[in-house]
Amino acid sequence: MTLAYDECPSCGRRWTLPRTGCPSCGAEPRRCASAGLGTVAAVSVVHPSSGDPYVLVLVDLDDGVRAMGRGAPGLAVGHRVRARPDAGIPTFRAD
């Protein structure tokens, strides 16, 4: 899984999850690859009922969209991060 986002060729609007049409103008979007650089917008240490805790983050990518990923321990809102795939899952670490 690599980080990617949709861009509308008509109005330029960008968003993260694949859609069939732009929510502003309805045009068919194109899928673009992200460089994976951004700023942490939200972070949670999740404690599952079984297994080890893990970190989930929302990251505001420099591309202008928001992405969800796993995070390295110790991240906080506002930290600059870079995504690398870890076993196919985008994982953000301090940049």
Partner 1 sequence: MAISVAHVAGVAVTPFGRQPGRTALDWQATAAVAALADAGLVAPEIDAVICGYATTAGHLMPADLLAERLGARPAIAHGTSAGGATGLVILAQAARLVRAGDARAVLVVGGEDRASGQSGETSTRTLAQVGHAELEVPLGGTVPAYYALLASAHLAARGLSPADLAPLAVQMRAHAATTPGAHLAKPITVDDVLASRPIAEPLRLLDCCPVSDGGAAVVVTAAPAAVAVTGVGEAHRHQHLTEADLADLGALRSADTAFGQAGRSVGDVDVAGVYDSFTVTLAMLLEEIGFCAPGTAGTDAAAGRFARDGALPLNTHGGLLSYGHCGVGGGMAHLVEVVTQLRGAAGARQVPGAPRVGFVHGDGGVMSAHASAVLEVA
CB of 58 to partner 1, least distance (A): 5
Q: How many residues bind partner 1 (CB under 8 A)?
A: 27
Binding to partner 1 by residue 89, rule CB under 8 A?
yes
- By CB under 8 A, name the one of 56, 72, 82, 93 that touches partner 1: 56
Q: Residue 61 is inside which H or E element, if any?
A: strand 54-61
Beta-carbon contacts of residue 52 (< 8 Å; ≥ 6 apart): none
Q: Virtual CA dihedral for 46, 51, 54, 56, nearest 10 degrees? A: -50
Q: Which of residues 7-46 bind partner 1 (CB under 8 A)?
A: 15-17, 41-46
Binding to partner 1 by residue 67, rule CB under 8 A?
yes
